[in-house]
Amino acid sequence: MHNGTLGGSNGIYHLMTHGNLKHDTDTNMRSTMDVRGRILMEALHLFGSIGYESTSLQKIADAVGVTKQALLYHFPSKEALHRAVIESVFDYWRRELPVVLTNTPPGHARFHSTMGALLDFFGSDPSCARAALREMLDRPDSLSEGLRRHLSTLVRMITGYIRMGQASGRIQPELDPESYVVQVLTMVISSAAIGSVVNAIVEASDPAKQKERDRAELVRIARRAAFVPAVSKHEKE
């Protein structure tokens, strides 16, 4: 059984296992939804680690600790379960990203809040990042349709903020907002997915410290690519 906590206590694991149950006092309903959430989490882990084609419903049921029939009670097919996993991830970002973007002031604060949310989500457990990479490689048409349907509004929101930053002089005028968002997201996902490989390449003796170094470097690269450099007092003179 996978014991990771995707996205931390406020991330995708919490969303999958609790959903909209904050005001639900029915114990049986809670139990049913907890099982459903565990199925979603284990499916995400297996889809990310061995791929959609190699993941059977029986493997997911075994990981959760339920029968295959119990799993089919919640999801009638593997495709339906896969669709629900992807929807859960999209739902999370549809809820969380607008909050991050609107609750922080423009400029560096908003940039760091957004990057922090992305890095926390994908960095807390590599399963989600690996699943995203596998979707890009193995099922691009399905993923593209989901992205268009669910995240196009959020992408427009982010690129809108970038253009406002360009208009104010904070953001590099030559930066392509859409391409920038895609490239940064790809960097974050790829880094989280192959963290163990990076550790081997650089011969990291402390994986946790290496992860922090990688995170800091990603933020630095993304920040330098976006923001107009501050003019020093010496340069002004």
For the whole model, what pTM was predicted?
A: 0.76
User: In this structure, what token pair is assigned to residue 8?
Assistant: 């931390």
Residues whose CB is less than 8 angstroms from the CB of residue 42 and which lie 6 or more positions away in sequence, other chains included:
1, 2, 60, 63, 64
Position 88 scores a pLDDT of 85
Nearest 5 degrees, angle CA 66-CA 70-CA 76?
Answer: 130
Position 138 scores a pLDDT of 78
Q: Which CATH number fits domain 12-227: 1.10.357.10, 3.30.465.10, 1.10.630.10, 4.10.520.10?
A: 1.10.357.10
pLDDT along the chain (237 residues), means of 10: 44 48 41 81 91 94 96 95 87 86 91 93 83 80 69 85 95 96 91 81 83 92 93 47
> CB of 4 within 8 A of CB of 127?
yes
Position 29 scores a pLDDT of 42
Tokens 């427009």 identify what position?
156
Closest among 130, 136, 121, 47 to 84, alpha carbons compared = 47
* Domain spans of the chain, in order of start: 12-227
Closest among 3, 39, 36 to 19, alpha carbons compared = 36
